[in-house]
Amino acid sequence: MPVIMFSRTPNTKRPRHGAFSLSRRLLRGLALCLVLFSLAAQAADGPGRNAIASAHPAATAAGHEILAAGGNAFDAAVAVSAALAVVEPYSSGIGGGGFWLIHRAEDGFTTMIDGRERAPLAAHRDMYLDAEGEVIPRASVDGPLSAGIPGEPAALAHLAGTYGRLPLAESLVPAIRLAEEGFAVDAHYRRMAGFRLEALRASEDATRLFLRGANVPEEGTVIRQLELAATLRALAERGHDGFYKGEVAEKLVNGVRAGGGIWSLQDLADYEIVERDPVHGEYRGITVTAAAPPSSGGMVLVEALNILEGYDLQQMDAATRTHVIVEAMRRAYRDRAEYLGDPDYVDMPLSRLTHPQYAAGLRAGIRLDRATPSSLLPGVVDTTPKGEDTTHFSIIDGDGNRVAATLSINYPFGAAWVVPGTGVLLNDEMDDFSAKPGVPNVYGLVGAEANAIEPGKRMLSSMTPTFLDDGERIAVVGTPGGSRIISMVLLAALEFSEGRDAKAMVERRRFHHQFLPDAIQFEPLAFDDALQLELQSRGHELQPLDSSYGNMHVVIWDLEKRRVEAASDGRGVGKAEVR
């Protein structure tokens, strides 16, 4: 099984849960100290109970089933990922990729499994441009030409083989069963299928599997995916090679090429996951551990928090607080567009971007009474982000192992194209590259040369699986939501820093600024009239959204109270469960 491992964090576990807690309590008396030390020691061993929050009840159940069978959080992560691939075909899948941020309790080892898709070897910088050098509409969004080489199967094989207690085949059982028995269409499925109806109709297999009479299926319609079950079985039986070599690989390459794509057997045979050191930061006593490039999530999150560290947000009035958070988002998203890409292809000033002194310089340019127009910072084109895609789950097992995983096939239903005979719905993650530096993608995100297309390169992502640890509580956090992912995790981190629980973190009303377009988007009820007027008077353009966004899933282990809690976003249909 090809795997690259480098720059892993050897031990990010700090001793404070044992020794530091003990010394604090010595001040309160020896007897109390002894009792509490024993509690802290138990807590440090693990919360004792398993907590999972994911975007679908069947996926949460799949994870708990594997934990009950003797698996750990990493086995459960395999089960949840694979189940989501079946029951949320509009969000993620084995035709896609993602980032699994993991922490192993026994030695404090933390790493990020980078299962991001790669550009095919035949890809080239201008592949989505016409003869005039203009971006060909939809070419990087619909159909096989928009698909990167999937990383999720490799990541699942690696998670099970390297970190799990159970064989991969056992952890894939719930997903195979779901694919064979089917799941019922709900209102969210109908909305996603309606959004991608025309594109789905262009694929014979997608039409047969995901539509009925070439239309959006009625609620309650059962979606069975027998070819996908067979492909999952090949993965279960042969591990990594069951997907990337042999019969499945040949069907994938033949099908993609027949549909106008450019995959080769070599692309699949060459695919490797990479273990990467996550991005680390500190915010008001909280250690932040989040996704590293090729995700921009950790960098933007830490840069924005570093800027905000210089303000006492809790003492500010609502308008000033919102204003400085927006200004921090603006600057961090600007740096995303300018600098970030695949670390195996581009040099990035990551340590500068995440350094508190760099943030202090940016903070100095923020006026409390006036918005900074994005046009005064280096930048380019303007458009409106849209889309609702991707998925996230959070797990802490009874031993304290944890997983924050954000997975994607990019746009809803990805490329909307299923490879005949495999049940594999292709991603359209190639749209996350800058098809033409400076021209925005479907989320309105612009990028520079660092994220230009190159053969074998990973496209820049916004996925932000994150751990927050304030010494007393550990949170596992993440959400889907395209370009808004990072700002949602930022707002959740601020909630956590003010002592709020998992439910408050997922329920918080959201707002977003991503440098371009130069406007604050906000959910219904996020800003009252007075706040809107005050922000406008400081020069902010407001873009009220007519619906909510995001689908956050949070698990918190409270070491002081020796309790785990889990919450799934009420905006989605997910389920959080502690057993």
How near is the Cβ of 5 to ligand GLY at its closest, in Å? Answer: 22
Nearer residue to ligand GLY within complex by CB, 397 or 431: 431
State the catalytic residue, choosing from 207, 322, 390, 479. 390
Site string for ligand GLY, 378-407 (x = CB under 6 A): ------------x-----------------
Segment near ligand GLY (CB under 6 A); pick from 12-20, 199-207, 356-364, 455-463: 455-463
d(CA 96, CA 424): 9
Segment near ligand GLY (CB under 6 A); pick from 80-88, 264-272, 305-313, 460-468: 460-468
Nearer residue to ligand GLY within complex by CB, 67 or 486: 486
Segment near ligand GLY (CB under 6 A); pick from 236-244, 459-467, 491-499, 570-578: 459-467
Q: Does 475 engage in binding with ligand GLY (CB under 6 A)?
A: no
Rounded to 10 deg, the angle between the 318-339 and 297-308 helix axes is 140
Nearer residue to ligand GLY within complex by CB, 110 or 410: 410
d(CA 230, CA 246): 14
The answer to whether residues 95 and 427 touch, using CB atoms and an 8 Å cutoff, is yes
d(CA 131, CA 445): 24
Nearer residue to ligand GLY within complex by CB, 461 or 514: 461
Amino acid symbol at 91: S
Among 461, 497, 521, 551, binds ligand GLY (CB under 6 A): 461
How near is the Cβ of 318 to ligand GLY at its closest, in Å? Answer: 30
Q: Does 463 engage in binding with ligand GLY (CB under 6 A)?
A: yes
How near is the Cβ of 203 to ligand GLY at its closest, in Å? Answer: 20
The answer to whether residues 464 and 476 touch, using CB atoms and an 8 Å cutoff, is no
Nearer residue to ligand GLY within complex by CB, 207 or 390: 390
d(CA 36, CA 19): 11
Q: Does 451 engage in binding with ligand GLY (CB under 6 A)?
A: no
* Residue closest to 112 by CA, chosen among 356, 406, 399, 355: 406
Per the annotation, the verdict on 390 as an active-site residue is yes
How near is the Cβ of 434 to ligand GLY at its closest, in Å? Answer: 13
Among 21, 110, 207, 408, binds ligand GLY (CB under 6 A): 408
d(CA 154, CA 165): 17
Among 410, 466, 487, 568, binds ligand GLY (CB under 6 A): 410
Q: Helices in 50-151 by DSSP H: which ranges?
A: 57-68, 73-87
Nearer residue to ligand GLY within complex by CB, 281 or 387: 387
Q: Does 171 engage in binding with ligand GLY (CB under 6 A)?
A: no
Segment near ligand GLY (CB under 6 A); pick from 157-165, 456-464, 470-478, 526-534: 456-464
- Pairing label, strands 109-115, 402-408: unpaired
- Pairing label, strands 418-419, 424-425: antiparallel
Nearer residue to ligand GLY within complex by CB, 225 or 461: 461
The answer to whether residues 149 and 267 touch, using CB atoms and an 8 Å cutoff, is yes
How near is the Cβ of 325 to ligand GLY at its closest, in Å? Answer: 21
d(CA 571, CA 385): 19
d(CA 154, CA 410): 18
* Residue closest to 239 by CA, chosen among 176, 164, 153: 153
Count, residues near ligand GLY per rule CB under 6 A: 9
The answer to whether residues 447 and 355 touch, using CB atoms and an 8 Å cutoff, is no
The answer to whether residues 133 and 100 touch, using CB atoms and an 8 Å cutoff, is no
Structure tokens of 315?
């003492």
Nearer residue to ligand GLY within complex by CB, 379 or 478: 478
Torsion of CA 181, 184, 185, 186, to 10 degrees: -150
How near is the Cβ of 334 to ligand GLY at its closest, in Å? Answer: 17
How near is the Cβ of 218 to ligand GLY at its closest, in Å? Answer: 29
Rounded to 10 deg, the angle between the 318-339 and 485-497 helix axes is 140
The answer to whether residues 460 and 446 touch, using CB atoms and an 8 Å cutoff, is no
- Residue, CB closest to ligand GLY: 461
How near is the Cβ of 481 to ligand GLY at its closest, in Å? Answer: 9
Site string for ligand GLY, 480-519 (x = CB under 6 A): --x-------------------------------------
Count of beta carbons in the 10 Å neighbourhood of residue 561: 12
The answer to whether residues 425 and 200 touch, using CB atoms and an 8 Å cutoff, is no
Segment near ligand GLY (CB under 6 A); pick from 152-160, 174-182, 458-466, 510-518: 458-466
Nearer residue to ligand GLY within complex by CB, 485 or 506: 485
How near is the Cβ of 121 to ligand GLY at its closest, in Å? Answer: 21
Q: Does 462 engage in binding with ligand GLY (CB under 6 A)?
A: yes
Q: Does 225 engage in binding with ligand GLY (CB under 6 A)?
A: no
Structure tokens of 85?
């691939």
Beta strands in 478-574 (DSSP E): 511-512, 520-522, 542-544, 553-558, 563-568
d(CA 542, CA 552): 24
* Preceding peptide of 517 cis, ω within 30°: yes
d(CA 243, CA 120): 16
Nearer residue to ligand GLY within complex by CB, 55 or 556: 55
Among 432, 518, 523, 569, binds ligand GLY (CB under 6 A): 432
How near is the Cβ of 410 to ligand GLY at its closest, in Å? Answer: 4
Active-site amino acid positions = 390
Q: Which residues bind ligand GLY (CB under 6 A)?
A: 390, 408, 410, 429, 432, 461-463, 482
